Structure 1
């Protein structure tokens, strides 16, 4: 049977924690072996065919940088659902948000240009936030959704609790605040939920999009369109290190399609380092070998 075979492979790889069925399942210790496809640094979690393997201190919350924006998008689409193909309501950018953009740009944050009175649809705003990882658009969406950023952050934390993300706390919608923390296993659960939303999955799977004022923006994830990768979100700050939430489609030996989900937190390398993407490829290749 396929499931026992995969489980034996996961056990042979060796992990800090092995769980069956879902990220919230009871953890069973497994011996860590040097042959594990998961990186030896930071935290990592991989879901494949109903099994999860992890490495690192996955019960210890740590900063997650712009991976935070997946929850921001998930929350916006929970509060203001869209159907595939819909643009949704129009959001008007406030003058104060232009001031925020300028300050964030001077501070070295990842932003896109905005203008006072700019009108942007909900879907396009999601593209502007998720593809180039624009912190200013994350704050625009938060204010529009809940009336205030603090109110939106409260909603994020309430949703995290509902999803069983017990080691997660959101302090901002962009991931700049180092008090925004989570674990690889918590974010793995969110990855699956986010990719189950057709609109969110569609946005994170886009290589580029056209938005007002900024023009064409490009996805910061170079894995898209290669080896079955279809999402999800990159992230980097100095305190968080290099982070990546990913999803990939894999054809199994029975002719079906199998989804693989993974999260990497606290990995070495700067914001443009290829190391985290190489680690994700190794993880997906390992999951593929177990099918």
Structure 2
């Protein structure tokens, strides 16, 4: 009887062991938090003189050249004038904004600037310009007299407006910039390509600013039709931002352009400053020549590159020791350029006791900002069921 009971007990115990639920497998995956796009870093056709910087929004700096010391920037200073005005007096949609009435002092200021050969638009006493009219006059034909008008309209005096301009520069981290006039006519208004690229990126976040600087022409009171001095509009995706030219500053252009790569629309913001020339037309022609070359080079350099191959990056291991590797479902490709550092994140999901080939166990995400590239992480093979012996002899959970 004892033997029968023992056999019965063993049989019941074996049944319990064989029918116990299986523990979950473990998953390990290891990918560096930052990977560099393979290949030699690009060499762009930077200008021989002056300085330059190119930034791809959402990706980072593509490089810079020339001296880092601040220098005169001419009418590029008007970008900050427009930025401060629009931050203080935002324009939504097609709003014209409040009116500015031209005073006798404004006319006197205009007339005083004529002998110096400054960029101006004619004004008359009592003329009414909307804020949008004034900003178009400021940014398209680069009217120095309107820069002064806007500053006084906003802050009560030019000096008070300069305080706002320099405070805004500090807020944007433009440590090598100093504004001494709202038009940039004075050579004491100085900055760097890197600082102005920071400003360009911030200003383009204001839809009304981006709309105005992309205009080839506009119509305002008294002056009538005004033309944009930026001759590169429409070339190589260019949609802004501002030219600048004086004897001290040479030729300058803070520019923005669109570039579509791998179905993704990128925004380029760059600056080429202090280009040589005997006069404004020569200086701007020289800076335009440099920017054209740079944008063509950027278009051939910024592409979709493989960052991580579809090779094993981890392992699924069952409680009984069966294993299979896990890999990205396909190569992880990102938009950028060779040498660019790209943040990478691996997320995993707990597998069941076993996996089959192609079981999704997580994902690899790569990129500087949304939209990030996402590729599923999958098991490469099958983990077999445990043997009867393992089931019978297992201990623990």
Instruction: Decide: shared fold, TM above 0.5.
Output: yes
Q: Which residue of 2 aligns with 1:136?
A: 145
Select which of 262, 272, 290 maps to 1:279: 290
Q: Residue 257 in 1 paired to residue 265 in 2?
A: yes
Q: Matched residues in 2 for 1:68 and 1:111: separation?
A: 15
Q: Which residue of 2 aligns with 1:54?
A: 64
Is the partner of 1:140 in helix, strand or coil?
helix
Q: Residue 64 in 1 paired to residue 108 in 2?
A: no
Q: Deviations over 1:82-110 (max 9, x none)?
A: 11211000011110110110110121111
Q: Matched residues in 1 for 2:39 and 2:159: separation?
A: 46
TM-score (norm 2): 0.65
Q: Matched residues in 1 for 2:249 and 2:203: separation?
A: 22
Contact 2:237–2:259 (CA<8 Å) still a contact in 1? yes
How much has 1:206 moved relative to structure 2? Answer: 0.1
Q: Matched residues in 1 for 2:52 and 2:39: separation?
A: 19
Q: Matched residues in 1 for 2:257 and 2:99: separation?
A: 32
Deviating above 6 A after TM superposition, structure 1's stretches of 4 or more consecutive aligned residues are none
Q: Which residue of 2 aligns with 1:211?
A: 220
Is the partner of 1:116 in helix, strand or coil?
coil
Q: Which residue of 1 aligns with 2:120?
A: 111
Q: Which residue of 2 aligns with 1:91?
A: 100
Q: Matched residues in 1 for 2:45 and 2:64: separation?
A: 10
Q: Deviations over 1:121-158 (max 9, x none)?
A: 00110001110000001101111011111100110000
Q: Residue 146 in 1 paired to residue 155 in 2?
A: yes
Contact 2:42–2:301 (CA<8 Å) still a contact in 1? no
- Unmatched 5+ stretches in structure 2: 1-34, 303-397
CA RMSD of aligned residues (A): 1.3
Is the partner of 1:272 in helix, strand or coil?
helix
Q: Which residue of 2 aligns with 1:164?
A: 173
TM-score (norm 1): 0.88
Q: Deviations over 1:28-69 (max 9, x none)?
A: xxxxxxxx31111001011123223110112x1100100000
Contact 1:230–1:247 (CA<8 Å) still a contact in 2? yes
Provide the aligned length of Structure 1 versus Structure 2. 263
Q: Which has the higher strand share?
A: 2
